[in-house]
Amino acid sequence: MDGITAQLLGLQIFTGLALGAIYVLLAVGLSLIFGMLTVVNFAHGAFFMVGAYAGYSLYQIFPNFWICLIGVPVITGAIGLLVERFLVRPLYGRGIDYPLLLTFGLAYVMVELVRMGYGKQGLPFDTPAALQDSVDVFVGQFPAYRIFVIVVTAIILVGLWFFIEKTSFGLIIRAGARDPSIVRILGIDITKVWLIVFGLGTGIAGLAGVLSAPLQGITPEMGGSVLIISFVVTVVGGMGSLVGAVIAGLLVGVVESLAVLFFPEGAKVSMFVIMALVLLVKPQGLFGRSGLMS
């Protein structure tokens, strides 16, 4: 433990928050889709990867990172709309295994299409010039871009909360997640709600991909590891719980970051330790509810 100062510890916590912010976006999108549609979307990591490549392509055409932040969720969300309408929707009512297997295979198709279009080698994604400096976060200098990731995630979460809790369409989403048959009786086309929710979830995954690109570069396989992480975070927070996804994402990010400092060899398994401990105490996760998988 020698050499570990309070300043280093504080900076590592901030690093964990930035990492956790990416996990939060992934888990929120995954939980949104599962909580409303009860679809275990195994293509979620592939949408994350597509978001990074879509951002790369947009940047080649419009060398402006802010355009990428707006355009990428629109592109990945539009792809998600098509996937839900023509691939996932015909499988509703056939059991949870059918869309799971479909999205599992779809993820492989998406990865191979990206390999065909961009090659198997990774591509760099430079940090925007305006965010290449560092800022003082009271415990030392911290990269401005990581602070930017945290801020963008916070803005997305506030906007999503307002959309779900304070709008009439959000009320329909919440009602449909609890009892879609009642929503149908009220004369609301629940399939349109499912369509928008799926597109919103995949759009958020794409945004997470383009935000993480300057931190790690982009490769066709980048969605595989984050898919595992996003499922771990979702299970820890509770399947279908947006609040749980936020808390669990930040928790996993900070613990993983601190594990790098204190026990580097166990950093990658720290999230699984958290998941095991939580499930031993609360099998539904921190904020999950029973019966959602049935």
pLDDT digits (tens, 9 = 90+) for 109-144: 999 999 999 999 999 999 998 899 999 887 788 999
CA distances from 102 to 87, 105, 136, 221, 261 (A): 8, 5, 47, 19, 40
Q: What does 232-262 look like in DSSP terms, one character per residue? A: HHHHHH-TT-HHHHHHHHHHHHHHHHHHHHH
Nearest to 251 by CA among 238, 240, 8, 264: 238
User: What's the whole-number average pLDDT of the chain?
Assistant: 91
pLDDT digits (tens, 9 = 90+) for 256-292: 999 988 888 888 899 999 999 999 999 899 987 665 5
Nearest to 207 by CA among 17, 47, 11: 47
Q: Which residues contact 210 (CB under 8 A, 6 or more apart)?
A: 51, 52, 54, 55, 68, 69, 72
CB 72 within 8 A of CB 55: yes
160 pLDDT more than 60: yes
Looking at residue 289, what is its pLDDT? 67
According to DSSP, residue 127 is labeled P
* Helix, strand or coil, per DSSP, at residue 141: strand
